[in-house]
Amino acid sequence: MSALAYQLVPVSGWNPLVLILLALIVGVLVYMIYRLGNHSYKETKYKREPFLSGNSPADDPDSLHIGGSNLYWGFTRALKRYFEPLVRGHTGLLNDYLYWFVITVVVIMVVLYFV
Amino acid sequence: MELSKTFDKSLWVFHVNSGSCNACDIEIVASVTPRYDVERFGIKLVGTPRHADVLLFTGPVIKKTKERVLRVYEQTPDPKVVMIIGNCASTTGVYYDSYAVEGPIDTLLPDDANLIYVNGCPVRPENIINGVKEAWLYLEELRGDQG
């Protein structure tokens, strides 16, 4: 900070006393918010386990696996019109994938040539 | 368990069959039908105990369902009320002498569980609605004790 600014505001943000004071104020605010919480919560053996109709997750660990498709289904549903042609393009044939690769490389080289 | 007045409104119910013959289960579903219509009170059956305010237990606890009953009870968030529906759930009823029966529901649940007993074999839907009324009165009493 410039000397003039320091004269106007003698205490800078890097002053450790200021930081300690701020930490105390934030700590008091955090404690006040914590006090508003529910204190009757009791932790028990099964409380945090996922609900699997009463069954134990240990019996079927695969049931706990969340696949990627579970997470991004919203995107695929919203972009279905653009997603379905792409799915149709995945024929599973290596030759088709190589043709796409060659065509893409050619297009890129042509674009780069003229740019 | 902290209770508020809003807990009485629109109680959502999760039904657990811990070994019942299904008669009480059918009567529970009948109480939701237009003839008895508990849905006019905002009461509905939900598919997960995570959403439930009230647990309905039917049937005696049998050895295979003992752990599952306890697990579902603990997975239901507080505050909650347990309604024990039928003679089998409260006293094991006609299955009292069976090798497969563990015991009535209340022997399994913790001491601080809020229990409402609705008896019958099977329970009449009117009795289930009366049980809900008793649950509301009981909750009012509990709130009075909490000040």
Residue pLDDT, tens place only, A64-95: 788 888 888 898 899 999 988 988 889 999 99
Residue A54 included in any domain? no
DSSP B65: T
| Interface confidence (ipTM) of the complex | 0.80
| Joined tokens for residue A42 | 């009791």
Residue A51 included in any domain? no
pLDDT at A7: 56
Using CA of residue A8, residue A12, residue A17, residue A18, what is the dihedral sign? positive
Please state, for a pLDDT cut of 70, what percent of chain B lies above it: 96
B68:A38 CB<8 A: no
Using CA of residue A94, residue A96, residue A102, residue A107, what is the dihedral sign? negative
Using CA of residue B136, residue B141, residue B142, residue B147, what is the dihedral sign? positive
pLDDT at A10: 57
Task: Spell out which residues of chain A touch residue B1, defining contact as CB-CB under 8 Å.
Answer: 40
Residue A113 included in any domain? yes
Residue A104 included in any domain? yes
How crowded is residue A92: how many other Cβ atoms within 10 Å of its Cβ?
6
Residue A115 included in any domain? yes
Domain residues for A111? 79-115
Residue A44 included in any domain? no
B16:A54 CB<8 A: yes
Is the overall model pTM greater than 0.90, yes or no? no
Using alpha carbons, select from A48, A38, A33 the residue that is nearest to residue B4: A38
Residue pLDDT, tens place only, B87-124: 999 999 999 999 999 999 999 999 889 899 999 999 99
Task: Spell out which residues of chain A touch residue B108, defining contact as CB-CB under 8 Å.
Answer: none
- Average pLDDT in the B49-70 region? 93
